[in-house]
Amino acid sequence: MSEEIPVVGMREPCPCGSGKRYKACHGKAASRAATRQVRRPFEGLPSECDWVAFREIVPAATAPIALKDGADRTVTLTTVLPLAWPALVRDTGEVFLALQTTTGSGDPSRDAAEALLRALDAEPGTPIPPMGLPGDGPRLQDVLAPVPLEVTVHSDFDYWMAQGAEADAQVRDSLERANSRVMPTVRLSSVEAAYWVDMGEKVFLRWVLPEDEERLLDAFARLRARGDDALQGIPSRFVGSFRADGLLVPVWELPERTEAGALEGAAVAYRALLDATLADSAPLTSAERSARAGLQTRQITLR
């Protein structure tokens, strides 16, 4: 086996002695590995759909998470932190881990695990800033206990600050900007990973689903072809879906002033209808194929 080449700055000479810069030598392979896209980065974690929602569609939310080795540390998952920090260690030693960050590799699970491990080694009161692409190492699936997320959605980001804590000017400005952009959001309690959101002029339901994308598109096409794709009992409009971290997120536009609580029964009924439709393995009809093509045309990928 060849000797392992240590990681250095991309513009520094490669430690292998080739005379080239690291980025033009052994750094090439490291960079390719770090940016390789993982299709479903949170697959295997309980509540995978909510992990995707935290990263992609929820403004302000938290959930306690537990370390696999049973270490006595309080760790809280959140959507975003001040100044886009990937993690933060409070004065009490509690760790906050964020998923909505400005930099990262092609594997958000590896990125988050790297930030978490840095936070666990940091002193209390320390923000964990972004850094370069992480090399090989553990992923969240390796370091977290397999416990489902217990999600709390917040109306603002005031939870960033411990009670009585003073923030510097940068953090205060970041908090004010973040609070000004929060859209009212509610997680439904009757089904998994479905989020009502009031965007001001329009209200939507966005629902992260765990099933295979192709099967879901077939099911949505069957429902659309027979005019059965609205939420049951709600005059809603199925507007399409988008792909996020390997999962499909269908979206419904709701009548103005529709409250989140009004969707609970409708979501349960739709989930039952979708399950029955997913069980249909017959080839798509001509009308269903046409509906499927229309759904795919409007589909977008967030990440």
Q: How many domains are contained in the chain? A: 3
Residues in the chain: 303
Same domain, residue pair 65 and 146: yes
Domain-located, residue 40: no
Per-residue pLDDT of the chain (303 residues; tens, 9 = 90+): 334 555 445 556 767 667 676 556 655 555 555 557 899 999 999 999 999 999 999 999 999 999 998 778 899 999 999 999 999 999 999 999 999 998 778 999 999 999 999 999 999 999 999 987 788 899 999 999 999 999 999 999 999 987 666 667 888 888 899 999 999 999 999 999 999 999 988 999 999 999 999 999 999 999 999 999 999 889 999 999 999 999 999 999 999 889 999 999 999 999 999 999 999 999 999 999 999 999 988 776 655
Residue 118, Cα to own-chain centre: how many angstroms?
20
Residue 173 within any structural domain of the chain: yes
Quick one: pLDDT at residue 6? 58
Could you say which DSSP state residue 256 is in? T
Say if CB 207 and CB 193 are below 8 A apart.
Answer: yes
Q: What is the dihedral of CA 270, 272, 278, 281, to 10 degrees?
A: -130
Last residue of some domain: 151, 181, 211? 181
Same structural domain for residues 221 and 259?
yes
**Is the Cβ–Cβ distance between 21 and 10 less than 8 Å?**
yes
Domain with 105 in it: 48-181
Q: Using alpha carbons only, how large is the chain's radius of gyration in Å?
A: 22
Is residue 38 domain-resident?
no
Residue 39 located in a structural domain: no
Q: Tell me how far apart the alpha carbons of residues 108 and 222 are, in angstroms, rounded to a whole number.
A: 34
Judge if 83 and 172 occupy the same domain. Answer: yes
Of 160, 170, 185, the closest CA to residue 260 belongs to: 185
- Name residue, tokens 């994308």: 213
pLDDT of residue 24: 65
- Tell me if 42 is assigned to some domain: no
Tell me, yes or no, whether 177 and 275 share the same domain.
no
Are 110 and 226 found together in one domain? no
Q: Does residue 94 fall inside a structural domain?
A: yes
Same domain, 227 and 269: yes
Kindly state whether residues 55 and 177 are assigned to the same domain: yes
Helix (H) or strand (E) holding 64: strand 61-65
- The pTM (predicted TM-score) of the whole model is 0.86
Token pair 């390719």 is at which residue?
A: 32
The pLDDT value given to residue 2: 38
In which residue are the tokens 């403004």 written?
A: 59
Asked whether residue 107 falls in the same domain as residue 232, the answer is no
34: left (phi over 0), alpha (psi -120 to 50) or beta: alpha
CA 152-156-157 angle, to 5 degrees, is 85
C-alpha 20/C-alpha 37 separation (Å) is: 27
92 and 72 in a common domain: yes
